[in-house]
């Protein structure tokens, strides 16, 4: 493994906007370059670390608090953390930025109509039918980042273009080298 500084890339955006897809590709590239990488994905964290939580605002805040703690612990031990969470509230993301030393916020921007078309699990449809409540983009708000380090527009960029932008940004910030 390459000796490197730990940092966290926090991918935020609506459900089904492409956060995990981009994070997976960035992770594969960084691992090939011998960086120590861990992924914290919203679905996996909910299943394995926060299964006791609902989707109420209070529980969403607690979920992101737990994820922030994990990312902070990993990155301070020189791990590259790729965190993919809807994290719909600015306050949550501000807290994560404050707690995690080397923090890069990537806003994965995509219109809700496109996210709905990409939804293979049918969550948006269930939310529209009232079967799921507190669903971000339907009956719960998403507060877009005000000053992210990077915005990727997955409705008009290919996955490769978005991944390239992420890699260039973390290189520009001095977190990785070619």
How does DSSP assign 92-161, residue by residue? HHHHHHHHSSSEEEEEEE--HHHHHHH-TT-HHHHHHTTSS-S-BTTTB-----SS-SEEEETTTS-HHH
Q: Is 80 exposed, middle or buried (0-12, 13-18, 19+ CB in 10 A)?
A: buried
C-alpha 150 chain-centroid distance: 12
Give me the active site residues, please.
Answer: 87
């Amino acid at each position: 493994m390459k000796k490197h500084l730990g940092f966290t890339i926090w991918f935020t955006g609506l459900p089904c906007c492409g956060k995990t897809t981009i994070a997976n590709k960035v992770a594969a590239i960084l691992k090939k370059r011998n960086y120590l990488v861990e992924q914290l994905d919203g679905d996996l964290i909910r299943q394995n670390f926060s299964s006791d939580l609902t989707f109420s605002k209070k529980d969403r805040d607690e979920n992101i608090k737990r994820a922030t703690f994990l990312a902070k612990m990993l990155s301070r031990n020189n791990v590259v953390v790729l965190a993919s969470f809807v994290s719909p509230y600015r306050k949550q993301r501000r807290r994560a930025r404050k707690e995690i030393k080397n923090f890069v916020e990537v806003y994965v921007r995509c219109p809700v109509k496109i996210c709905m078309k990409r939804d293979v699990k049918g969550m948006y449809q269930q939310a529209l039918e009232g079967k799921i409540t507190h669903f971000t983009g339907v009956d719960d708000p998403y507060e877009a980042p005000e000053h992210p380090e990077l915005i990727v527009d997955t409705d008009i960029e290919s996955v490769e273009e978005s991944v390239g932008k992420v890699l260039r940004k973390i290189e520009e910030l001095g977190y990785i080298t070619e």
